[in-house]
Structure 1
């Protein structure tokens, strides 16, 4: 079965230890995003979680990378750190109307990262999902929720996300529960287990395994070695966004590029 598009990258592009190890020596800092666009197919922007960007910044980012490159954005913490998520409507709308659509077709999903202490409350979670707008400035928006508390690892949370077409982010190789269920027409993976021990962040075996999982998701399946929490969805090709985040960050670009190489060999 033909698969959906696959985008693989890291978190952010400004990180001093990458200069001279990932970025070429003497590359101007202002050209780092441009360079990343030649080696990866996506990036997760963490800065939007902490503060708003100007529309001109999104426009500039758009112009610095190739057509097939995508930006996923962390949604504002002012929406996700509320005690009652259902009261986050104003913060959500302020974020989605802040100029993010200047990224045009390079705008990927928005990652609404919940606090690790935020427990699953079905009514409040459902209310939050309904606050996430389907469009902004005539452009379709895609939303993903990174629910890190173990109480979200259940069939009810999966069903609510699927009902609203919102992805539950699969965070892996970290301290949090893994939720492997696809709940939207795309899958969002955050791989957080790189270590200094391996030259490319992960062992060759683990890189092979993750590449196979990514292709399985793109082809509409669900990896059988990751924990699903609800009934299997209809098998249909899905777009996949996979980012190597956290862990031993110095190695993350090498891990991402190794995954890109493997996925291509698998036909993804």
Structure 2
């Protein structure tokens, strides 16, 4: 059975989206619900910077329709450290803050590493062992976004595969575009939207991303996010890809 393709953006609070993506006058507290009506996923960025309350996650889950999912960006206290193997306490705190409240709206957890973080096989392997398979009965799927060229290494890909973690594919001018193994779902972050392109990417490129997603869906769920770049264009890019997927 083919997986489900979800397409979204990073977050939902961004001033330039008001009046371009969001209708003029839409209340800020209704913006997430609007994202839920027009897209199929979004990344939660707030969790990268600080812990949230369980009630906050429950509120987010209620705001979006069935089938919509959130990717949750893991705390920087887990990933921005010299020795990743020592992140156990931070990982437990992050996972235990209330992620389970998202229930079936919980998509992958995004573990994002600094562009200066190089691949250390022993340390990274120890870190992967810290990532739990579930929290309070809710299964967890893990996606690894690495930004240093040293990760373009079969040893890293094997570690990720054996841990069941997806390797995030980045479309970016500087970060490596690493393709990982099939682990039952895939995750792409498309970061080259341009302000002079009404839908961020050229229509032919949007079509190619859609075809790529359809191919990957044969192996499981697919998550594609338009983030950074010309951020004001990202909702249009995501909507255009949803149209292209038919």
TM category, shorter: over 0.9
Q: CA–CA distance in 2 between the matches of 1:207 and 1:138?
A: 37
Displacement of 1:183 in angstroms is 4.2
Residue matched to 2:111: 112
Residue matched to 1:201: 200
TM-score scaled by structure 2? Answer: 0.98
CA-to-aligned-CA distance 1:61-106 (integer Å, 9 cap, x gap): 0001001100011100001011011110000000000001100000
Q: CA–CA distance in 2 between the matches of 1:135 and 1:90?
A: 16
Residues 1:243 and 2:225 are matched in the alignment? yes
Residue matched to 1:210: 209
Displacement of 1:181 in angstroms is 2.2
Displacement of 1:190 in angstroms is 0.3
Q: CA–CA distance in 1 between the matches of 2:173 and 2:72?
A: 21
Displacement of 1:154 in angstroms is 1.4
Q: CA–CA distance in 2 between the matches of 1:3 and 1:23?
A: 32
Are the counterparts in 2 of residues 11 and 46 from structure 1 also a CA contact under 8 Å?
yes
Q: CA–CA distance in 1 between the matches of 2:200 and 2:86?
A: 40
The RMSD of aligned alpha carbons is: 0.9
Residues 1:255 and 2:221 are matched in the alignment? no
Q: Secondary structure at the match of 1:131?
A: coil
Displacement of 1:197 in angstroms is 1.5
Q: CA–CA distance in 1 between the matches of 2:6 and 2:150?
A: 29
Q: Which runs of 5+ in 2 are unaligned?
A: none
Q: Which runs of 5+ in 1 are unaligned?
A: 220-236
> Residues 18-57 of structure 1 correspond to what in structure 2 (within 5 A)?
18-57=17-56
Q: CA–CA distance in 2 between the matches of 1:144 and 1:138?
A: 19
The number of residues matched between the two structures is 246
TM-score scaled by structure 1? Answer: 0.90
Q: In structure 2, do the counterparts of structure 1 residues 96 and 12 end up closer, same or farther at CA, with 3 Å as the change threshold?
A: same
Residue matched to 1:133: 132
Q: CA–CA distance in 2 between the matches of 1:29 and 1:112?
A: 28
Q: Secondary structure at the match of 2:147?
A: coil
Residue matched to 1:175: 174
Q: CA–CA distance in 1 between the matches of 2:17 and 2:70?
A: 19
CA-to-aligned-CA distance 1:224-245 (integer Å, 9 cap, x gap): xxxxxxxxxxxxx210011001
CA-to-aligned-CA distance 1:196-255 (integer Å, 9 cap, x gap): 120000001111111111111112xxxxxxxxxxxxxxxxx2100110010000000000
Are the counterparts in 2 of residues 191 and 242 from structure 1 also a CA contact under 8 Å?
yes
Q: CA–CA distance in 2 between the matches of 1:174 and 1:132?
A: 29
Q: Secondary structure at the match of 2:129?
A: helix
